[in-house]
Structure 1
Amino acid sequence: MNENQFTKMQSAPGFIAALDQSGGSTPGALKRYGIESWADDSEMFDRVHEMRTRIMTSPSFDGSRILGAILFEDTMHRDVDGMPTARYLWEVKNVVPILKVDKGLLDEESGARLMKDMPKLDDVLAQAREHGVFGTKMRSVVITPGAGLKAAVDQQFDVGRHIFAAGLVPILEPEVDIKSPQKADAEQQLHDLLKEGLDALPDGDWVMLKLTLPEVDDLYRDLVEHPRVLRVFALSGGYTRAESNERLARQHGVVASFSRALTEGLTQGQTKEEFDALLDESIGSNYAASTT
């Protein structure tokens, strides 16, 4: 584990850029960017890598305000400015590389969507270490409180322990759907189960958390301060950038890990100056909300 990356993730000011749109979310991201069609999946991933490269190579995007960037597995195997993406992020931009490792979601059961099996996880983790990746991210979704929520948290911790044993620091992401009719109740149950899981981790184990912006401000304050937690991030979850930042600013110690709220308004047709200026504004607002 890279100690400089660990220190940056633990204590530096800033936020995480989520650039990990997968096969399911890439079409929407491209259409918001202004690309309406592509011949096949191969061209789709080429186009989204061009979009991500434009973001990562912008002068607005660097480690002075950005702690890390979450990458899709396809992105890790591609180059940026002639360098492997993870190396480019760390060596050129001083941004810690993190890899999305989940393979999508199962159908809803008992109010939650658990992660699909990851039969090649060990191979992916070995490749991540070779590329200089620091940590991982994996997402499940909670709709209502109950048994499904507990199953989602148990699965996150089970896989997270495996990832940490392989030498990377996992981000556990049990996302509460912002449209949940019982959002506040689900968040309270999630808080309590996360606290139990964290308390059960052995000394020396570390995890990070990525959580939905809660209805009760500072609900996760004690998790921010937990000795097994390296950092707590907030996902935008479909909120606009303005609402995401407004909610985030009220969560002390929590920092952003936004995707749509980071890239909102960026389009293919913008000039370099227009694109960089809007990205700078977005990064600046996310940074400000993350340093409360």
Structure 2
Amino acid sequence: MKRALVLSLALAFAAPAFGQDAQTLADIRAELGDLSAQLQSLRQELVASGAKGIQAAGGASALERMDAMEAALSQLTSRTEALENRVNQVVADGTNRVGDLEFRLCEVTPGCDISTIGQTSPLGGGAIAANPVTAPAPNATPAPAGASLAMNEQSDFDRAKEVLGQGDFRGAADLFATFAETYPGGPLTGEAMYLRGEALQSAGDVPGAARAWLAAFSAEPTGARAADNLLGLGKSLGALGQTVEACATLAEVPNRFPGAPAATQAQTAMQGLGCQ
């Protein structure tokens, strides 16, 4: 019985909570703590069973293996805490940069009231800005394989792209903005937010396009369109005369997404701006 418990615990430790993508580092750390507590409880139970119980569990080597597992758990917990702190620091720094860009974009946007900007949403958890959008795009974009769509989600997205294809960039922008607000976190929302920036760009609203791509990148900094959003933002900043910010933003594209088509385009754009 004890041997089976030790074996099951070893298997649990070999593949801790990292298997579920939805888990946060805090969740993983909590499960590591729970696993450590279970290990301590098992040790106490094993010791209380006396020499016969320890022998049945595998002898003195069973306690040695438990010592090694406890040491590994402690090390893994420390690494998880360090990683969580690092992620929090990166998010805080990224959020501050996004807030600074929002402020600068508002300065060059006619009619934008800086006092209405408000607090910047944390990087990776932001929502689309309320400004209308427009974007040029090809035919209907199918949802990712295995994605679960809400009722009318695909048809609403296709309708927005259809309006975009007809050249009604402002109308398409409004539809993409409404789509992103109606289906937050949906499988097509990231694409809709990107196309919103494209639409505004096509409509001649460069500040609006920049803010749209900034919002899109902030919402999904590692999404399928993250590199394109960052590229669009950098190029828009350059067009608005924010050369320093544009160069810094464009430089992030190859740094974050090496090998992506947007990375090559970003380097070309940097050359055009004379970035050092």
Greater helix content: 2
- Same fold flag (TM > 0.5): no
Bigger RCO (CA 8 Å, 6+ sep) = 1
Which has more radius of gyration? 2
| Shorter-chain TM-score range | under 0.3
